[in-house]
Amino acid sequence: MINLFYMEGLPVAVMGLGKSGLATAEALTQSGADVWVWDDNESSRADALSKGYKVVDLTTADLTELTTIVWSPGIPHTHPKPHPVALRARAANIELVCDIELLARSERDSAYIGITGTNGKSTTTTLIGHVMEAAGRRIAVGGNLGTPALTFPSVGAGGSYVLEMSSYQLELTYSITFDVAVLLNITPDHLARHGGMDGYVAAKKLIFHRQTKPRTAVIGVDDPICRAIWEELKAKGDQVIWPVSALGPVPGGVYAADGWLVDDTFGAAERVAELAAFPALLGTHNWQNAAAAFAACKAAGVPTPAIVAAMTTFPGLAHRQQLVRTIDGVRFVNDSKATNADATEKALATFDPIYWILGGQAKETGLDGLEAYAPRVRHAFLIGEASDRFAVWLEANKVPHTRCGTLDVAVNAAAELALAEALPGACVLLSPACASWDQFANFEKRGEAFADAVNRLEGNAVPGDRA
């Protein structure tokens, strides 16, 4: 656990008592701070009280003693409507920071590798961590990926923190200048939280905050927004800039072309590995992840042969195109982490034919942009709140579908049809294009429920009410 020595004796509040909030409260307590905690959820407050924390209602308490509130990034502090505590804090000149900011203030001698993007950042973060560890580097990996930053060990000088950074976290982290900063892609997501697309893009660009040479920016250039950011940074020339692409050659960068991963960072356009050698990195989207991870690790000083060797042993990311089981030639793939259409597109582009399980709590963009993949879908199985809305899209795109309601029913119905039709290459794919919160606590729980249902299959399936 990180020692927040500079907080000793100081009053500091923690707003939001999820996984990272509780870890923050524990680290602050162990460091001798006077810790106040608050959560709008009564059961979360009761749990904190049972653990011995000082529960203080930040919506009414006198905040003048505080200089800092460690803010859960999931709680709105600006858009679409700021939480009352955020308004009170700003009126009292109290800073709002996230736990990663406290890590940065404590571990000043360590190196930092930051990864952001709308999609692919968890896979890329995990892959970078896998390579760095295999190369014998002293590292800790986490952040938005799931491991709270303040539970990390101290890696000290010569060590590196590999951090997945959400747009929410970037807005609340001020002290890190990333030695290697990776921006994979930007497509519409979380727009309400950022006041629109401009605010979302501005938050993502914070990954490059204060970078100067020899620090390195790694930028995916396969979408127009990131390509424009690449051009902007090139024009300024403040840091080393390596573009990456899954779609073909890009001068001075790392890219996928003709089935190969190619390194042109020093102008040699060297083929470093066949992409087929990376079994956990299937599909064009994963080629971008592979190129970005290669570039990031090279920028961090890992030799090319070590990077390639480690990437061939990468096991993949749980809940991201994770093969759960194959039954009579039918693959059952858990892509629960695909919480928007853009993420789901990556899976739809990878498999064919598909028995698609989708639905949950829909994002603003719904299924927009997936029309070209409708012919790959043999049958769709709808779950959760989005069923009515998504059924309209499926009908418009001539995709047969079943309203299943719950995930267990969908798995059984999809398995029954896929096994009966026995088509070559068939895949039962959970790729919901939705948040999980209507039926599950998080996408991990949804993915675990899918895997459990698949592992219970013994040839008996529950038919759905097909539309």
- The tokens for 278 are 């990376």
Q: Give residue for tokens 């993915």.
A: 447
Known binder of ligand: residue 118?
yes
Q: Is a pLDDT exceeding 70 seen at residue 140?
A: yes
Helix (H, G, I), strand (E, B) or coil at 266: coil
Confidence of residue 196 (pLDDT cuts 50, 70, 90): confident
Residue 461: pLDDT band by 50, 70, 90 thresholds?
very low
21 labelled binding-site residue: no
Query: What are the C-alpha distances in Å from 412 to residues 15, 381, 415, 434, 453?
Result: 41, 10, 5, 20, 8
Confidence band of 463 (pLDDT split at 50, 70, 90): very low
pLDDT of the residue at 189: 73
Q: Is 106 annotated as a binding residue?
A: no
344 in a known ligand binding site: no
pLDDT per residue as tens digits for the range 71-123: 998 899 999 999 999 999 999 999 999 999 999 999 999 999 999 999 889 89
Task: Quote the pLDDT of residue 99.
Answer: 97
Residue 466, pLDDT above cutoff 90: no
Residue 76 backbone phi and psi in degrees, to 5: -60, 130
Q: Does 67 count as an annotated binding residue?
A: no
Distance CA 169, CA 152 (A): 17
Q: What is the pLDDT of residues 202-233, one digit of tens each?
A: 999 999 999 999 999 999 999 999 999 999 99
Q: Half-sphere exposure of residue 348, counting CA atoms within 13 Å on the CB side?
A: 26
What's the rounded mean pLDDT across residues 241-246? 98
User: What DSSP element (H or E) covers 295?
Assistant: helix 284-299
Phi and psi angles of residue 282, each rounded to the nearest 5 degrees, phi first: -80, 150
Helices (H), 114-190: 121-134, 167-171
- Examine the pLDDT at 37 and tell me if it is beyond 80: yes
- Is 29 known as a binding-site position? no
DSSP 403-450: EEESHHHHHHHHHHHHHHH--TT-EEEE--SEESTTTSSSHHHHHHHH
Residues taking part in catalysis = 121, 144, 190
